[in-house]
A and B are shown apart, each in its own frame.
Chain A
Amino acid sequence: QKEVEQNSGPLSVPEGAIASLNCTYSDRVSQSFFWYRQYSGKSPELIMSIYSNGDKEDGRFTAQLNKASQYVSLLIRDSQPSDSATYLCAVSSGSARQLTFGSGTQLTVLP
Chain B
Amino acid sequence: DAMVIQNPRYQVTQFGKPVTLSCSQTLNHNVMYWYQQKSSQAPKLLFHYYDKDFNNEADTPDNFQSRRPNTSFCFLDIRSPGLGDAAMYLCATSPQPDTQYFGPGTRLTVL
Contact = CB atoms under 8 A, between A and B. Distances in A.
Interface of A: 4, 32, 34, 36, 41-46, 49, 88, 92, 95-99, 101-104
Interface of B: 40-45, 48, 50, 55, 57, 88, 90, 94, 96-105, 107
A101 B35 CA distance: 11
A32 B98 contact: yes
Contacts, number: 53
A99 B41 CA distance: 15
Contacts of B94: 97
Given A92-B98, A96-B55, A96-B97, A102 B105 contact: no
Given A88-B42, A96-B50, A96-B55, A42 B100 contact: no
B48 A45 contact: no
Given A92-B97, A103-B41, 7 more contacts: A32-B99, A42-B105, A43-B90, A88-B43, A96-B55, A101-B42, A102-B42
A47 B42 CA distance: 17
B68 to A, nearest CB: 15
A34 B99 contact: yes
A4 B102 CA distance: 20
Contacts of A99: 43, 45, 100
A48 B102 CA distance: 14
Q: Which 7 A-B pairs have the closest CB atoms?
A: A97-B97, A101-B42, A43-B102, A43-B105, A103-B42, A44-B102, A96-B97
A32 to B, nearest CB: 6
Contacts of A96: 48, 50, 55, 97
Nearest to A51: B98
A36 B98 CA distance: 14
12 contacts: A43-B104, A44-B43, A46-B102, A49-B99, A88-B42, A88-B43, A96-B48, A96-B55, A97-B96, A97-B98, A101-B43, A101-B44
